[in-house]
């Protein structure tokens, strides 16, 4: 099964980010993948450098981003679209919300359970419900960035049946420098998962380098080139399920 991860350079304006995402999605769709995935907060200008007011950011980005994702999903048809994340209001609270789309329909949305301190200071609230979506291409668990530092949440998502973890990341400037993918490689190996880690150019050296990770190793990762790129990988679901059988016997 072919999937495409969109590694983006985040621009200074919402509209420029939407245009860049539009171009990347169109290019990726030409490869006829089963799924296309976007980064965390991919429309928030300047890689979250001015992330101080959740209400303001949501007002400027949310409606435009969700409308864009719905429209692109209509054009993609049967291709699943993982919409990175957007800051969405719900009952006067703001959540870092990841979405899954197909044929223009919103299949699921997940509220990040572990927002980082900068998000909390800006007014981002914590979600409380892990989510796994059972699709014809596999069971997709939705997590966002720092959620992977929460072993109980990861296990809860696995216990719901996740075979593929969607992991949009942003890795803000306060994030420590990380070499490689030690945390996500461990999760993929220990639980028998594919992890689709989708970052942006700015965050590459801070642990946000986009990569597709299998239990048996890294299937692909982006370079340090400061430009938009598409990472395309094949997910062998049959091999994954055989690997998971060895875990159940151990």
The pLDDT tens digits for 145-176 are 999 999 999 999 999 999 999 999 986 655 55
* Complete DSSP assignment for 183-231: HHHHHHHHHT-EEEEE-BGGGGGGTT--EEEETTEEEEE--S-SS-EEE
pLDDT (0 to 100) of residue 233: 98
pTM score of the predicted model: 0.95
pLDDT (0 to 100) of residue 179: 72
Q: Is the pLDDT of residue 202 over 90?
A: no
Neighbours of 93 (CB within 10 A): 14
Average pLDDT score over the chain: 93
CA distance 61 to 11: 13
Position with higher pLDDT, 176 vs 56: 56
Neighbours of 77 (CB within 10 A): 10
- What the block records as the tokens of 212 is 């597709």
Alpha-carbon radius of gyration of the chain: 17
pLDDT (0 to 100) of residue 209: 85
Q: Is the pLDDT of residue 116 over 90?
A: yes
Q: Is the pLDDT of residue 246 over 80?
A: yes
For residue 239, the surrounding DSSP H or E stretch is: helix 237-249
* 8 A C-beta contact, residue 243 and residue 210: no
Mean pLDDT to the nearest integer, 19-45: 97
pLDDT (0 to 100) of residue 112: 98
The pLDDT tens digits for 24-34 are 999 999 999 99
pLDDT (0 to 100) of residue 223: 87
Could you give the domains of the chain?
2-249 (3.60.110.10)
Q: Is the pLDDT of residue 206 over 70?
A: no
Mean pLDDT to the nearest integer, 204-208: 60
- What the block records as the tokens of 178 is 């990380």
């Amino acid at each position: 099964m072919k999937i495409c991860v969109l590694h983006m350079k985040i621009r200074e304006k919402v509209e420029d980010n939407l245009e860049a995402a539009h171009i990347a999605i169109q290019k990726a769709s030409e490869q006829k993948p089963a799924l296309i995935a976007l980064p965390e907060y991919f429309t928030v200008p300047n890689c979250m450098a001015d992330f101080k007011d959740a209400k303001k950011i949501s007002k400027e980005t949310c409606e435009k981003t969700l409308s864009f994702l719905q429209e692109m999903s209509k054009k993609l048809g049967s291709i699943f679209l993982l919409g990175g994340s957007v800051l969405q209001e719900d009952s006067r609270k703001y959540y870092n919300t990841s979405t899954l789309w197909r044929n223009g329909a919103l299949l699921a949305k997940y509220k990040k359970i572990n927002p980082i301190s900068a998000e909390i200071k800006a007014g981002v609230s914590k979600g409380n419900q892990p989510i796994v979506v059972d699709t014809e291409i596999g069971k997709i668990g939705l997590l966002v960035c720092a959620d992977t530092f929460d072993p109980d949440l990861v296990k809860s998502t696995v216990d719901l049946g996740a075979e593929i973890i969607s992991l949009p990341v942003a890795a803000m400037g306060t994030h420590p420098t990380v070499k490689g993918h030690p945390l996500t490689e461990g999760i993929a190996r220990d639980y028998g998962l594919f992890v689709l880690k989708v970052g942006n150019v700015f965050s590459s050296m801070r642990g946000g380098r986009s990569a597709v990770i299998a239990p048996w190793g890294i299937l692909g990762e982006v370079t340090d080139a400061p430009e938009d790129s598409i990472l395309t990988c094949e997910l062998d679901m049959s091999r994954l399920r055989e690997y998971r059988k060895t875990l159940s016997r151990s």
